[in-house]
Amino acid sequence: MKPLLLPLLTLALALPLAGCSKTLPARINLKGKRLLVIPFAQGPAREFDSTFGRDLADATSGAVRSSPLPKGAAVLDFRDAERLMPRGRTESPDWPRLGAALKADYLLLGEVKLYQLRDPKALTTRRGTLIVAYRVLDVAHASYALLVPSRTFYFPPQKPGDTEFAFGTDSFAKAEEIAGGLLATAARGLAEEFYEREEEP
């Protein structure tokens, strides 16, 4: 074999391997659809009443908008839904009816189960932990297209091989940094339900 052909053959064999990363499909296809992210409930605070729940909805909406969405997809502002909420309400609204009034196709609804910026078990490091439950309502069918009973997010993220008590950041890290990182991490994770992406190595 000529010397020039050997590197060319090596390159040709490597090209298919370079593009073989696994593509993860969107669990909810937003092509031509409109999504409304409702602020998460938290403890005794209902939807729209939790400051962190509102921040999470805002961050998730932004993460979905900035993702590679299919043609015709749109993300609505939850404040438009808030204007339709009755004052002094004591229970959750009729979500399918509310979604239909805003011409939304899907509603992302959720609840914060745990939110902490320091794990008392991690003595030498500091990490944020957020546990949420969420569901995606198909407004037209008044049924849930996706149910996730529990999902945990960390900041700093837990890496493969990290033990339960060894990962995190310096114990003197500012709470604001942990809170901001945790919010962004969770928002990106929730947004991933709505767009196709490459699997991380």
Tally Cβ neighbours within 10 Å of residue 94: 11
Domain boundaries, the chain: 22-195
Report the topology of domain 22-195. Rossmann fold (3.40.50)
Give the C-alpha separation, 48 to 54, whole Å. Answer: 6
In the predicted model, is pLDDT for residue 162 greater than 90?
Answer: no
Tens digits of residue pLDDT in 102-142 = 999 999 999 999 999 887 776 666 789 999 999 999 999 99
Which tops the pLDDT comparison, 11 or 47?
47
What average pLDDT does range 152-164 have in this prediction?
75
pLDDT at 127: 83
pTM, 2 dp: 0.82
**In the chain, what are the helix, strand and coil shares in percent, each to the nearest 5?**
30, 25, 45
Tens digits of residue pLDDT in 40-85 = 999 999 999 999 999 999 999 999 999 999 999 999 999 999 998 8
